[in-house]
Structure 1
Amino acid sequence: MRALLPSLSILFVQALLTLCTPLQQTVGGDSVSFSVNFSVHVENQTRARDPMSRRQPRVYQLYSRTSGKHLQVLGRKISARGEDGDKYAQLVVEADTFGSQVRIRGKETNYYLCMNRRGKLVGKKPTNRSADCVFVEMVLENNYTALMSARHAGWYVGFTKRGRPRRGPHTLPNQQDVHFMKRNPAGGAPDPQPFRYTTVSKRSKRLRTSPPSPH
């Protein structure tokens, strides 16, 4: 068995080099080279549902840039009026694929954040596994986070200054209405993988970068 290991290793390396080497095809007597594009395969695997792997839940708050409050899942009702540390503002975020698709549910109510076919944000019961409840978590150039519906591309989770949900068709990724900041719950344990987030001063309206919470 031990004697076979070197041979298997050599075969594995040869197979890997074969995949990475540009392929050649004879066309009309001439040899034509072309490269294999694996980006499409990677993208498809990223978007593919992953029902077999173990979910990796995270708990944090989503601070709305427009309302100055936090997203809340109040059962079927959704708003962005939660104070820092509010029990309805604590969200459990579950990775739904190998990539950036997630499901978000309220830790207190256990209802999932969803967007129906009309673009309205609603809460649904935990037994519901509808694709309406899957979002693509995107980190924007300004370091804010946006949540786009996985079923309705181009529709984002967004709120008005009063914390009322905006309908998906009326949102754009460059609107402040769809910009959020991840924050640890007040008084909660720091995330084992801390992230940098931004705080907003209503007085100065300037953005300041806060360091991650110490361990």
Structure 2
Amino acid sequence: MSKGVTRRRQSRQALNFSALVVLSAKRDRWKAAPGLAQSGARLSWPSSCAPGFDSVHLKPLDRPPPAAAAAAAAAPRHHHHHSAMYYSLLSACTCLCLHFLLLCIPVQMFVPEENVDFRIHVENQTRARDDVSRKQLRLYQLYSRTSGKHIQVLGRRISAKGEDGDKYAQLLVETDTFGSQVRIKGKETDFYLCMNRKGKLVGKPDGTSKECVFIEKVLENNYTALMSAKYSGWYVGFTKKGRPRKGPKTRENQQDVHFMKRYPKGQVDLQKPFKYTTVTKRTRRIRPTNPS
């Protein structure tokens, strides 16, 4: 059972208890009223329609009935003075305790939990896909630090042997979430760069799988590392000959996983820039006059 359900149940029990206390206090006040005992008027519960009880709304009346009030006025009051004071004090103490209890319950219900880490919320939101925000689409090349060439998406085969400006080295990078998650696709082949469960880099025509999502990490040396979003700790890496390395054999501090973004020559910006409009003072419209 969740904490919210437990707290709502406790609040409901407290309210029911308070209602019973109020009804009990009213009944005791009726019993202690002077002259009611001699007149025979007494408080009864909804089983009968006795004086002092509202049979329609099933609750004690706020004022005694006329017959009970007349009998109370005619009877001597000094016999019931002490008992009336006792029940009045008891009712006052009960009301004070009830108010204190009702004031304490909301405070306990809305006390924030301790040791709440905001980073956990950010990590959970980062793992989820963002299908609402505007996608940022960029076109650039990834220069490998070890091979001295660029990453190529040759269909299902991946390598790092592309020259500057090679058509297979031009990559379309699409943002997936606000947490630096991207999907990389070859512009020429329309295949996505993915990492399978064995840690091997492969190309896939469909990039909706979590294996095709990578997390961009900007390192202290201004290089960029690409870590798999599904297999944490596995990075995109290549050897000196441009061959892909398996994910389990890669580390963040290795030069094999360091890349540098390079834009192709004569690149056309695929992302439309935001247009800002300035708000000026409203001018008076001049209606064109029709020539007579």
The TM-score with structure 2 as length reference comes to 0.52
Q: Which runs of 5+ in 1 are unaligned?
A: 1-24, 193-215
Cα pair 1:57 1:95 within 8 Å, conserved: yes
More moved, 101-110 vs 41-50: 41-50
1:52-93 C-alpha deviation (Å, 9 max, x unpaired) = 333211111000000000000011010000011111100000
2:146 is aligned to 66
Q: CA deviation at 1:128?
A: 4.2
- Aligned AA (2:144): S
Cα pair 1:184 1:191 within 8 Å, conserved: no
Q: CA deviation at 1:186?
A: 2.4
Cα pair 2:175 2:182 within 8 Å, conserved: yes
Residue 221 of structure 2 is aligned to residue 142 of structure 1? yes
1:90-140 C-alpha deviation (Å, 9 max, x unpaired) = 000011112111100001100000001111100000x34111101111111
Aligned match for 2:208, one of 119, 125, 129:
129
2:233 is aligned to 154
Q: CA deviation at 1:46?
A: 2.5
SS in 2 for 1:45: helix
Counterparts of 2:242 and 2:112, CA distance in 1: 59
Q: Which runs of 5+ in 2 are unaligned?
A: 1-106, 272-292
Counterparts of 2:112 and 2:135, CA distance in 1: 45
Aligned match for 2:245, one of 166, 171, 176:
166
**What percentage of residue pairs aligned between the two structures are identical?**
71
Relative contact order (C-alpha < 8 Å, sep 6+): which is higher? 1
If each structure's strand is expressed as a fraction of its own residues, which one has the higher value? 1
Change beyond 3 A, Cα 1:32–1:46 = closer
- Matched ranges for 1:1-215 at <5 A: 34=114, 36-125=116-205, 127-189=206-268
- Aligned AA (1:86): D
* RMSD of equivalent CA atoms: 2.5
- Aligned AA (2:249): H
Q: Matched residue pairs, number?
A: 165
If each structure's helix is expressed as a fraction of its own residues, which one has the higher value? 2
